[in-house]
Chain A
Amino acid sequence: MASCSVNGTVYGVVLNDRDECAALAGVFAEKPYLAAPLAPVLYIKSRNTLATSPALVQLPESCACLQAHVTLALLLGRAATRVDAADALRHVAGYALAIDACEPHASYFRPAVRQRCRDGFLPLGNFRAEPPDLQGGVIETLVDGVVRHRRDLSTLHRAPTQLMADISDFMTLDAGDVLLVGLSGDAPFVSAGQCVEGRLQDLSPVVATILEAEAQA
């Protein structure tokens, strides 16, 4: 199944990591947040970000490095409206790895559209129908062939099935939409010339090479 069957909206979640939320509890009590988040903290990767792995990801002129978050992407095969967690995976047609690239930014207050939605900022690997181990699989991020980050799916604050239930309660996840299940706050930073690879069990790896910024005219 190719990533061209993504024909809808790509949704992602931040702060879906138990350890990260615990570490940030003090920050979240202060302005501008004032309280820990109740609902999943969602964002959208606009369609210009989609790229097929292996992909080239270009640095913007404004920064020397990007943060490379490897995550799991769920491709919806059936529309999910107010689904139960127990039923959620029946709506998922495919699983793939993704690299969610963004310009480094410290604040979660405003939607980081300019930082997250640059052209090509979402290399996607091949989708396949069988799920990986969603309870205990470990997502690895390699930079230039060396493992630099590990993410155990059991540490997600909301498991993928719970995410789908909580999100579809107020908004339909339609066939052709994608849900990215969570990013780690401590994902590695990468700069021009480096190669990022994401792995999870026997899913097709997702690969991206970082390019220097386009020279200004």
Chain B
Amino acid sequence: MKRARVAFDGSIHWATPGPNAGGLVLADGRPIGPTAMIWLPPIDRGTTIIALGLNYADHSAELGFKAPAEPLIFLKGFNALTGHNGSSVCPADARQMHPECELAVVIGRVARRVPRAEAMAYVGWYTIANDYVVREYLENYYRPNLRAKNRDGLTPLGPWLVDAQDLGNPQSLQLTTRINGQVVQQGSTSDMVFDIPLLIEFLSAFMTLMPGDVILTGTPHGVAFVKPGDEVETEIEGIGILRNRVCGDAVTRRERS
């Protein structure tokens, strides 16, 4: 099954795909049309959001780094998330903001010291993340630092939460990013340096993972910069297409005295 979390008519609902293209059926049975709702990130506030850097060897190479010896982990706050069909703000001075298509793994059971061979039993769901970065703001302290990677609304998540048993093999999925219809990233989850079972083993060895915690598993090569007005699609085979529009900073900027 796949589910979406949407805001409709004053409330927040879970929904499933409807019979007509783009439409949904709310949990209470009501069908709604494709433009009737606002899509929300399908995970809860308060969960731990874990992200991987340099988890595809070709991406590491294009950035000039060697693939790391152990997983390069960083964390995010819930403020960073935004839903499918939302907008992400490109700061006014940013020329190096780029999307990153990532398979997001959502934990389904409490995971503590889980051995790799048993790890997949702890996965509940999958979804798609677009882990935008603003490279100008990267600094060499706790890198990638929060000013580059934890900005409000710069991590679209969605559109669907897909049950783990419905996805098949998560380590053989095509990842594709398009900017204004042009392909800028193409890769496969088979190219992860540290695969999902190893990541769950590594993390659960020191950090008990709770249901709802999510792991953004990294992105393949293809660094392409966006500007306000660009339409970005991050697609993962078997899950769907997460859409986002880049907007300018003039909308949110205010004068400081």
Contact = CB atoms under 8 A, between A and B. Distances in A.
B167 interface: no
Contact of B141 (A9, A41, A177): A41
Say what secondary structure dominates the interface of chain B. Answer: loop
A47 interface: yes
A117 B205 CA distance: 11
Contact of B45 (A8, A14, A41): A8
A172 B154 CA distance: 12
Interface residues of B, number: 34
Interface residues of A, number: 40
A43 B142 contact: yes
Nearest to A113: B73
Contacts of B147: 39, 42, 170-171
Provide the main secondary structure of the chain A interface. Answer: loop
Contacts of A42: 142, 145-147, 150
Interface in B44-63: 45-48, 50
Contacts, number: 112
Contacts of A117: 75, 206-207
Given A8-B78, A11-B77, A113-B75, A108 B142 contact: yes
B225 interface: no
> Which among B76, B145, B254 has the highest number of chain A CB atoms within 10 Å?
B145
B146 A109 contact: no
A8 B77 contact: yes
B150 A171 contact: yes
Nearest to B205: A114
A146 interface: no
Contacts of A118: 206-207
A170 B207 CA distance: 28
B210 interface: yes
Contacts of B139: 35, 37-39, 41
B89 to A, nearest CB: 10
A82 B251 CA distance: 14
A170 B145 CA distance: 12
B77 A46 contact: no
A45 to B, nearest CB: 9
Nearest to B256: A84
A60 B141 CA distance: 25
Contacts of B79: 9, 171-172, 174
Given A8-B46, A113-B50, A172-B152, 13 more contacts: A7-B46, A33-B140, A37-B141, A39-B145, A48-B210, A108-B141, A111-B74, A112-B142, A113-B207, A117-B206, A118-B206, A170-B151, A171-B79
6 contacts: A7-B46, A32-B140, A48-B48, A109-B140, A111-B75, A114-B73
List of 8 A-B pairs having minimum Cβ-Cβ separation, nearest first: A44-B75, A9-B77, A42-B146, A41-B141, A113-B73, A111-B142, A46-B48, A172-B79
